Amino acid sequence: MSKPEGMTKSPRIKLKEKDTQRTVLDWLALNRIFHYRNNSGAMSGVHNGKQRFFRFGAKGSPDIVAVVRGQFVGIEVKGSDGRQSPDQKKFEEELTKSGGIYILARSLEVVIKGMP
């Protein structure tokens, strides 16, 4: 079977990070795996009349934290084109050195395969 004229590549579906994250969170809940959404980042705002900068969560920490049979699992969710920041790469290195599991998830299938 030949490709239609003008088509040279298979179309690539671009996945959004928020959609993959929702799918992963739903799967974890469905399978009764202890987990939580781990928010981290920074923002500026006014506190006591002064402009301030606030940081929350550990720098580079994963989007989702789970514990599977006593094993710490950090799940960093990325969309099709998303890239890890240097802080995320450092967190991955430290976590895996400490015996934890780090999953860079672009799909639910990657999470399932990476689970202990």
The stretch 96-115 carries a mean pLDDT of: 97
Nearest Cα residue to 69 out of 38, 100, 29:
100
Q: How far is CA 70 from the centre of its chain?
A: 20
CATH 3.40.1350.10 fits 17-114, yes or no: yes
Q: What pLDDT is attached to residue 14?
A: 73
Confidence label for 42 from pLDDT (cuts 50, 70 and 90): confident
Domain range list for the chain: 17-114
* Alpha carbons 79 and 69: distance in angstroms, whole number: 28
When comparing pLDDT for 52 and 88, which is higher? 88
The stretch 98-112 carries a mean pLDDT of: 97
Q: What pLDDT is attached to residue 16?
A: 87
